[in-house]
Chains A and B, each alone.
Chain A
Amino acid sequence: MMGAFLHSRTLLPGAVLTLVFTFAALISLVWVPYDITVLDIANRMKSPNWTHPFGTDQFGRDILSMIMEGARTSIAVALVAVGIGMIIGVPLGLAAAARKGGLLDEVIMRANDLVFAFPSLLIAVMITAVFGASALNAIIAIGIFNIPVFARLTRGAALSLWNREYILAARVAGKGPARISLEHILPNVANLLIVQGTIQFSLGILAEAGLSYVGLGAQPPIASWGRMLADSQTMISLAPHLALFPGLAILLTVLGLNLLGDGLRDILDPRLRRART
């Protein structure tokens, strides 16, 4: 395992980038360089310097502090959205596989098809039109979109396992489908779920950034990378650093998670090594 960790070209850089942003988010819970709710108009739109490494925004707020708190928002939204997708999607996938071809399977798969027809942005638009914009609604929109992803993946992987001999043995021993799914199928698809979880996590961060950029995500005073970019747009020619750092933060976080996902897959599931595109 350790050897594979060192040999993978993607795992180490991916893990490092992911850890950097996770730490930034965690540290922001207890400490940030400057309080971002305090305005400092005298120091507005300062370029990066020794006291403000990433500069300040149009209200004199420290960009580094906002990036740290934004990391918290992005990671929290994407993590919970992946959680929703897994907690609902995985049991649905397991149930569909256990009763393959049955009514339940059919209903679950058709419902999945239906959700797939709604890109997460459209779900967010509908939710916002009804309930208004907030971080919670962004989580729900991205989470709903994740459900069919995990349901399909779980069902597909579980179906191939149901034909294995050790499952037959478990059935002969008198275990029911629910117990077999939980005790024998789930542990064997867990690796796959972890890899997909990393990918959905990175997609969630991109989606959250896009939603808050158009005003459908976290609302002030919660810091968010997408909204920092939206705010910087009209000032981009005067102060390019306002747009540079939040964008880089999104890019590096997503890149880190993608590399981590690639590397994890190489270690956890060698059969899939070529399949990722």
Chain B
Amino acid sequence: MLQYFLKRLLSLGLSLVAASVVIFLALEVVPGDPAAYMLGLNAQEDTLAALREELGLGGSIAERYFSWAGGLLTGDFGTSYTYRTPVAGMIADRLWVSLPLALYALTVSTLIAFPAGIWAASRRGSGADASVMGVTQLGIAIPNFWFAMLMVLVLAIQLRWFSAGGFPGWEAGFLAGMKALTLPAIALALPQASILTRVMRSSLLDTLGEDFIRTARAKGLTRSQALWRHAVRNALIPVLTILGLQFSFLLAGAIIIENVFFLPGLGRLVFQSISARDLIVVESVVMLLVFAVIMVNFAVDMAYAWVDPRLRRRR
């Protein structure tokens, strides 16, 4: 286990370095000088040079990469070109909206998918199974930002149960914050819940066909005892993998959903920064999201190897 862990840790490190190089090169070697953009057309050459120095834009590409990457490691994300405030602070503020939103959506998705998937699998071929499969087919095909708009129309504008958008801030209280995130979380969760339901169902059907389930039934367990005590636990492994992968889709998907509900999260920050050509902010947010994706996949791999020892040797 330790050897496998160290090997995966090494490849994790390499992935992070490679990803940071790709992001840096893509966004740093772009045409256009942020200093000139900030100071406008009439800037003096020496003022420009001073500002470039201050922003860390002097030096070779390699020097700039190491200064940026080194900064990331110590929590210094640089200074925003437009707001002149530390990027780390801006991201931290927005993270307090985006991260709870992604976790909320993940919870909603799991709470829908587990019961629905188990229910459908335990009644395979019945009308209940067919309707669960039909609804998930729709859930996968529906664009979630459109579903979000329809929810706003019905639940916010017509029934007035929720506000149509915006975020009161956690200062307004935990419940007020959660209420503002409820519709976005449902919209974000819908496609993921549909996929997860299907994974749960098919994984459980596979497990129910295994020999040990027949043995359990032969020992006198009822269908539902065999299902709950033996099948569900064994069916969880592929489900957990998909759950981990979905976290990255939720983080990225939040960028779009935040736009529907005017939530001050990372997504809004990215779009504002793109239009202001505040590339250092874009760079840092993208790096943060990619970091999250890589770390979650690493954690899933580790959990997987811990649960299923066969996997450690196979690689």
Contact = CB atoms under 8 A, between A and B. Distances in A.
Chain A partners chain B: yes
Interface of A: 110, 113-114, 117-122, 125-126, 128-130, 202, 206, 209-210, 213-215, 226, 229, 232-233, 236-237, 240, 243, 246-247, 250-252, 254-255, 258-259, 274-277
Interface of B: 11, 14-15, 18-19, 22-23, 26-27, 30, 137-138, 140-143, 145-146, 149-150, 152-153, 157, 195, 198-199, 201-202, 205-206, 242, 248-249, 251-253, 255-256, 259-260, 270-271, 273-274, 277, 279, 282, 286, 289-290, 293-294, 297
A233 B149 contact: yes
Contact of A113 (B15, B23, B137, B249): B15
Name B's interface SS.
Answer: helix
Contacts of B294: 117
Nearest to B253: A121
17 contacts: A113-B15, A117-B19, A122-B252, A125-B255, A126-B286, A129-B277, A210-B143, A213-B256, A214-B256, A214-B259, A214-B271, A215-B271, A237-B153, A237-B157, A243-B153, A250-B143, A251-B141
Contacts of A129: 27, 30, 273-274, 277, 279, 282
B255 A243 contact: no
B30 A130 contact: yes
Most buried by B among A214, A252, A258: A214
A213 B15 contact: no
| 6 A-B pairs with the lowest CB-CB distances in the bound complex, closest first | A119-B252, A247-B146, A255-B141, A254-B141, A277-B198, A121-B252
A68 to B, nearest CB: 19
Nearest to A206: B143
B15 A274 contact: no
Contacts of A113: 15
A274 B249 contact: no
B26 A240 contact: no
Contacts of B142: 247, 251, 254
Nearest to A130: B30
A114 B19 contact: yes
Given A125-B274, A274-B202, A118 B255 contact: no
A128 B27 CA distance: 10
Nearest to B242: A277
Contacts of B152: 236
A255 B138 contact: yes
Contacts of B273: 129
Nearest to B260: A233
B157 A277 contact: no
B19 A128 contact: no
Contacts of B251: 119
A251 B146 CA distance: 9
Contacts of B297: 117
A119 B249 contact: yes
A258 B202 CA distance: 17
